[in-house]
Amino acid sequence: MDGMKMQSSLRIVFAGVLFLLLNACATYPQSGRSALVGTWTNSLGTVWMIKTDGTFDVDLKHQGKRDAWGTYTVSGGTVTLQRTGGINPRGCTGPGVYKFTRPDKDSLHFALASDACKLRKKNVLLAWHRK
């Protein structure tokens, strides 16, 4: 009888651990392309639409107008941004490389790895919130 109680208790514990692990997997992604995909805004009012196909659009003044666009690649927790069209401030022809984190499901933060583009740095390095 004690063996059956022990076996039943182990099943309950195992089920609880499995539930916690599955629940942790169902949260937001921390790295990779899917961690960035969405529509984000920062304190300057910039809207950044990051798409699943590796492209993005930027609306700098939240006017519903695409001011800049480009492509991005992700390797783990690092993103490389490349402007391909729209406004072209001085120093913004090359890529910008940033480390990123997701503190929670509706926030996105970046840390500079390398970027010569002052306007991109000014925007990207602010806190982003899901729109």
58 and 13 share one domain: no
Residue 31 has pLDDT above 90, yes or no: no
6 and 40 share one domain: no
Residue range 87-121, pLDDT digits in tens: 999 989 999 999 999 999 999 999 999 999 999 99
* Cβ pair 36, 50 in contact under 8 A: yes
Structural domain that includes position 6? 1-29
Kindly state the average pLDDT of the residues 21-29.
49
CA-closest candidate to residue 70, choices 120, 35, 111, 21: 120
13 and 36 share one domain: no
Amino acid identity for residue 52 in this structure: T
**Mean predicted lDDT score pLDDT of the chain:** 86
> Which of 42 and 18 is assigned the larger pLDDT?
42
Q: How many domains, the chain?
A: 2
4 and 61 share one domain: no
CATH of the domain at 61: 2.40.128.290
5 and 54 share one domain: no
CA gap 126, 42 in Å, rounded? 6
pLDDT-based confidence at residue 21 (cuts at 50, 70, 90): very low
The number of angstroms, rounded, from the C-alpha of 101 to the middle of its chain's C-alpha atoms is 7
Block residue for tokens 């990779």: 32
Q: 10 Å Cβ neighbour count for 76?
A: 11
12 and 48 share one domain: no
> Which of 122 and 12 is assigned the larger pLDDT?
122
Block residue for tokens 């002052």: 118
Cβ burial of 13 (10 Å; 0-12, 13-18, 19+) is exposed
39 and 85 share one domain: yes
49 and 21 share one domain: no
> Which of 129 and 7 is assigned the larger pLDDT?
129
Cβ burial of 14 (10 Å; 0-12, 13-18, 19+) is exposed
Residue 80 has pLDDT above 70, yes or no: yes
5 and 46 share one domain: no
Residue 35 has pLDDT above 60, yes or no: yes
pTM, rounded to two decimals: 0.77
53 and 94 share one domain: yes
22 and 36 share one domain: no
Residue 30: phi and psi, rounded to 5, are: -100, -20
81 and 22 share one domain: no
